[in-house]
Amino acid sequence: MTIHIGAAPGDIAETVLLPGDPYRARWAAETFLEDVRLVNEVRGMLGYSGTWKGHPVTIQGSGMGMPSLSIYVNELIRDYGAKTLIRIGSCGAMQEKIGLRDILLAMTASSISTPSAGIFRELNFAPCADYGLLAAAHAAAVARGVPVHAGGIYSADVFYDERPDLNEQMTRHGILGVEMEAAELYNLAHRHGCRALAVLTVSDHLITREALPSAERETSFANMIEIALEAAFP
C-alpha cells in the first residue's frame, strides 16, 4: 500500500494499462479482463486487476495531466514492480489526414514542461516509446483494419489552451495530436528501465472542429484497448 494506491503486495500486475478516467478503467476491466477484482479506490482513482488470455493485467486510472499521472506511475513502478505501462486515452488530432476514432501511436511526446523538468534542467530530453510495444501495436491495428498513425504527439500542460501560434507550428512540424500525459510517462519509463507506450483514440479534431459525442467515446475506445493488450502480449 502506498499513499495513493491501496493495493496489497501482489495485487498489481507487471503490465498496467493507464486510462486517465477511473470510470474508463472500470469499464475496460469489466469488458476485457477475466477474474476482475477491485484493487484500488483511494481518492476514487479506481484500479482493477485480472487476466487477459491468461496474462495478468492491471488497469489503473491515472487522472488528468502529467502531475497526476506521475504520482501513479512512480508508485506503480517503485512499490509494485510494474514493468510495462501503456497509456490508453483520448486525444485531439492536429493533421487533416487523421479522422475521428483513428488510433495514434506516440513515437515521441513533445512538451513545454513536465514534472521531470527539474531533473533535466537545461537539457531538452526527448522521451520516446518502447519500440517493441510500438511495432506490436502498429501490427495489431493493421491486422484489425483500424486506421493507425505513428509519430510525434504533444503533451500539453493545460486543457484550455490559448496558444494558436504554437498549435500552428506543431501542425506545421507534423505533430499528430495533443493529449496531456504521455511525455511524463515516457520520461519515467526511461528513468526506471521500463517499457511504455501511449495508444490514443482521436475523440476530437483541432482543425475540422469535429468531436465525438460523449456517449460514443466509450464504445469507440474498444479498438484502442485491444490493441494495447495485443501489444503487451504479442
CATH number assigned to the domain comprising residue 177: 3.40.50.1580
The pLDDT value recorded for residue 218 is 67
90 is in an annotated binding site: yes
Sequence-ordered list of residues with C-beta below 8 angstroms from that of 100, at least 6 positions apart, any chain: 93, 202, 203, 204, 205, 210, 211, 212
In a domain, 3, yes or no: no
In a domain, 4, yes or no: no
Number of domains comprising the chain: 1
Prediction pTM value: 0.96
The pLDDT value recorded for residue 162 is 81
43 is in an annotated binding site: yes
Known active-site residue 102: no
pLDDT tens-place string over residues 64-84: 999 999 999 999 999 999 999
In a domain, 102, yes or no: yes
In a domain, 113, yes or no: yes
pLDDT tens-place string over residues 123-167: 999 999 999 999 999 999 999 999 999 999 999 999 888 888 999
In a domain, 30, yes or no: yes
* Mean pLDDT (the chain, rounded): 95
In a domain, 193, yes or no: yes
In a domain, 72, yes or no: yes
Q: Are strands 177-179 and 55-60 parallel, antiparallel or unpaired?
A: unpaired
**Is pLDDT above 80 for 219?**
no
Q: Domain of 88?
A: 15-232
**Is pLDDT above 70 for 1?**
yes
pLDDT tens-place string over residues 180-194: 999 999 999 999 999
190 is in an annotated binding site: no
In a domain, 54, yes or no: yes
User: Who wins on pLDDT, 196 or 213?
Assistant: 196
The catalytically annotated residue of 79, 157, 161, 204 is 204
209 is in an annotated binding site: no
